[in-house]
Each structure stands twice: as C-alpha cells, then as structure tokens.
Amino acid sequence: MIANPQVTEQLTAAGRAIEQGSFAIIDAEVGSHDYTPEQWPLVRRMIHANADFEFNGLTVFHRQAMAAGLAAVLAGATPIVADVEMICSGLSVPRLRHFGLHPRHYISDPDVIERAQAEGTTRAVQAMRKAQREGQLDGAIVGIGNAPTALIEVVRLIREEGVRPALVIGMPVGFVSAAEAKDLLMTVDEVPWIAIRGRKGGSTLVVAAIHALLSFAESRRAA
C-alpha cells in the first residue's frame, strides 16, 4: 500500500482505518494463494468489494496484465472504455483525474441502439464497434462487467481487425455466455487481460480492479 496516501486511497483517517482493517481481515482469513505481490492487492480489493473469498482462485491474469495496466495508467490520458454506465459512475473522479484518465461508454448512444435494432445484435456489441470506429480501443483499458457479448466482440476485434487495447478487464456476470466469454478471453495472447472464471463478475469488480491499478500506479510513481 501507499505509505502516504494521496488521491487513490481513502482521504480521511477514519476511512483509511476501516479499509485497512478490512484488508487485514481478508489477509488473515484468505488462506494460501498463488498471486504475485503485484496481483494480490487487486484480488484483495475485489474480495473487499463483494465479501467473496472465491475470487481467490477465480481471478486469472495474463502474464503481462499488471505491467500493461501500470503502463497504461502512468501514460496519462488513457481512455477507459466500459460496456455500461455503471462502471463509469463507480470510478472515482479525483483518482482518475490524478492520471488524466477519461472513462466513457457508448451503450446508450442513439446510433448504437439504432444499429443494434437494425442488425439484430446487442447494444453492447455495437457499443464496442463504435468505440473501435472512433479510435478509442487501441491503447485503452477496456472494462466489461455486464455484457458477455461486448467481451466476445472485443476478442473478435482483437483477432480479426487487429485492435490492440492496453488491457482488457473481462468480468461479465451472468448465466448466458458469461463464463464462455471469459474462457474465450483467456485464450487471447496478443493483448493482456484480467478475467474471472465462471459465472461470477460484475461492474463492481471492474471498478475495484481499476482502482487497484490506480493505487499500484501511484505507489510506483512515489517510489
């Protein structure tokens, strides 16, 4: 953790005490794990967000995921492309502003809805296609917590159209295609990713993962 917390951590002593107390309980109760010192704070923050210890083991990292996420945050002005508005709303504005990061989503854009209706696809698919047309996916942190079809489309764009996000955080939750979409992401080698096995996931976890990356980046900048 950061010795002197700045904007990426709780800003009050009371808030820090509660959060650090929670992290200490997680560390005491989690048991063994195989995560690296860089990966574990991210997994721990996800456990903290959901009080679910199963994310110890369900969370999987591409070998370059943490390095790629760190570089993307420290680069500044990196777009964060989300599948749903909930992710953008959940991210801390001061924490993002500290690194010049700008979250965006396209799921509710009228042209996205129109294309989805005309082509018989989901809005999530068309949202990712619009992000790609507008040049927002290359070099971006892509966070998907709700829509498996968005994740499947991102993988297609990577493999068929050469799109190269800096990092894909693929954690859609659900019963239809969610596990399969994440399994598909975990076969990608060209682009770093962080994923969750199985049906569990959600926008809250994507937010937690991004906040962990911000904390990691600030600690490295201060070192």
Whether 173 is in a domain gets the answer: yes
- Residue 131, both tokens: 């992000």
- How does the average pLDDT of the chain come out, rounded? 93
Whether 34 is in a domain gets the answer: no
pLDDT value for 223: 62
Distance, in Å, from the CA atom of 91 to the CA atom of 17, rounded to the nearest integer, reads: 21
* Nearest to 213, CA basis, from 61, 62, 66: 66
Task: List the end-to-end C-alpha distance of the chain, in Å, as a whole number.
Answer: 11
Contact 137, 163 (CB under 8 A): yes
pLDDT value for 159: 98
Contact 44, 215 (CB under 8 A): no
pLDDT value for 6: 63
Q: Which of 48, 98, 105, 211 is catalytic?
A: 48
Tokens 């990691």 sit on residue: 216
Contact 214, 81 (CB under 8 A): no
Task: Give phi and psi for 201, each to the nearest 5.
Answer: 160, -155
Distance, in Å, from the CA atom of 121 to the CA atom of 136, rounded to the nearest integer, reads: 21
pLDDT of residue 221 exceeding 50, the answer is yes
DSSP letter, residue 60 = E
Whether 209 is in a domain gets the answer: yes
Whether 77 is in a domain gets the answer: yes
20 band by pLDDT with thresholds 50, 70 and 90: confident
State the residue range of the domain holding 106: 60-222
Domain count, the chain: 1
Q: Is 22 exposed, middle or buried (0-12, 13-18, 19+ CB in 10 A)?
A: middle
pLDDT of residue 124 exceeding 60, the answer is yes
* Nearest to 153, CA basis, from 130, 176, 136, 134: 130
Q: Where are the alpha helices (DSSP H) in 35-122?
A: 40-50, 55-58, 65-75, 85-90, 93-98, 110-119
Whether 203 is in a domain gets the answer: yes
Query: What is the per-residue pLDDT across 169-218, written as a single tens digit (0 to 9) for each?
Result: 999 999 999 999 999 999 999 999 999 999 999 999 999 999 999 999 99
Whether 39 is in a domain gets the answer: no
| CA angle, residues 215, 102, 60, in degrees to nearest 5 | 50
Stated pTM of the model = 0.93
pLDDT value for 15: 74
**CATH no. for residue 184?**
3.40.50.10230
pLDDT value for 5: 47
19 band by pLDDT with thresholds 50, 70 and 90: confident
pLDDT value for 16: 75
Distance, in Å, from the CA atom of 103 to the CA atom of 185, rounded to the nearest integer, reads: 22
Distance, in Å, from the CA atom of 208 to the CA atom of 210, rounded to the nearest integer, reads: 6
Whether 27 is in a domain gets the answer: no
DSSP letter, residue 127 = H
Residue range 13-42: mean pLDDT, rounded: 90
pLDDT value for 127: 98
Least-confidence region, from 8-22, 69-83, 96-110, 121-135: 8-22
Residue range 31-56: mean pLDDT, rounded: 96
Active site residue 48: yes
8 band by pLDDT with thresholds 50, 70 and 90: low
Whether 20 is in a domain gets the answer: no
pLDDT value for 1: 39
9 band by pLDDT with thresholds 50, 70 and 90: low
- Residue 30, both tokens: 């989690």
Measured in whole angstroms, the distance separating CA 48 from the mean position of its chain's CA atoms is: 15
Over the Cα atoms of the chain, what is R_g?
Answer: 17
